Structure 1
Amino acid sequence: MPRRFPATIAAAVEHEIVITKSRFITTLAPVDGVEDADRVIAEVRRRRWDARHNCTAMVTGVLGDQARSSDDGEPSGTAGVPMLEVLRRRELTDVVAVVTRYFGGVKLGAGGLVRAYSTSVTEALDAATLVRREALTQVRFDVDHADAGRLDNVLRDWVRHHHATLGPTTYGRAATFEVWVPADALDVLRADMAAASAGAVDPVVGEERIVDVHAD
């Protein structure tokens, strides 16, 4: 099995709940670092300038080792930290959560606020599409155009069973396939491609990267 890394989300999500007349609107977004997360936060605060609170939590870095949160005026520890804990429990990174609260006139108390902000982020994440991340090695090989369709089908089936993912295929004098493969599956790929092509395929192994692997 490949090494495990924190996952991220595929696209932004917005989700609203109402608790004791207060509206809690969660904005989740994938980000590529702290500056990008700050940009998302600033944009939400511009759009929802009339809200009582825009509380935030973010986790960034390949290993999810950078984190920040803000209660934005809510009692200390009742908003940002509970939001952050939800992101941590889901083992996510490169994601920011902003929960906008429009106060409904009824105080929720510390426990009620913790539950409200936690639930807001949890339900938003339930609606998000997750993207797993893995350390994969690039493999490229050329195939005659006449064989490209058949090898494409073989590869699409192969990656589903080996925690791998396809990169872009380029067409020149030959069709050049790109596959991102766990290091412990390289020998299996070589053997399977040799069998599928009667030895005509000559894989070239490249660099290792942390790659986003989208579910089918």
Structure 2
Amino acid sequence: MASLFYKFQEFVKTLSKSPTFARNPREFQFETDMNRLFLFTSYNRLGKNADEADAEEIIEMANKASVADQQKQVQENIHFQITNFCSAMNGILLPDLEKRSKKDEAPAQSNTAPRRSGLSFAVGKSGPPIDRPAIPETKLLSQSEVSQSLRDGIGYSLDLKPSLIPHKEAGEGLFLSGEADVGTVIAIYPGVIYSPAYYRYIPGYPRVDAPEPIFDH
């Protein structure tokens, strides 16, 4: 896989110099980033059994496909990764997952209760209560146990630790523990790092794009 990754790196270098890219700085940056995402997320999806022919096919697609087509494929690749991650989390947190799956596949009981509408629906009055599925019960695991299970399952996890930035207000940093393959979705920014209540504490907020003139948020 290392040799295939080297192929992708070399292709990115040559493609970024192509005259076919838009000359507008913002468009140029977007197209370059999308092309890299296409290459690396597609590379990641190949898995460990990929061969040179697979890599050549991806490079050829990157050379011919439009930016819109590449963007669509990137979205599919990321969706594929997040789906796998959620499946891994279900396996860690949900007890008796196999039994639960069989239960979910069982035919649902018909509900003959009349459908409410209008004011009665808005205010929540009149009409029998509707059965709703219970919130799934999860295993009682500590954060460290979940992290370790993730590392065992997908190879890496994210941990909050004291920042390595030498500043008294640096606080905590987000660290990767383990090893992630090239093209792996590591985190979704800013949700993993900042909750909405703390956006104002982001350095430079609200002009977080000020240092980079072509930063697209």
Both structures adopt the same fold (TM-score exceeding 0.5): no
Query: Normalising to structure 2: TM-score of the pair?
Result: 0.24
Higher relative contact order (CA 8 A, sep 6+): 1
Query: Normalising to structure 1: TM-score of the pair?
Result: 0.24
Please identify which structure carries the higher strand content.
1
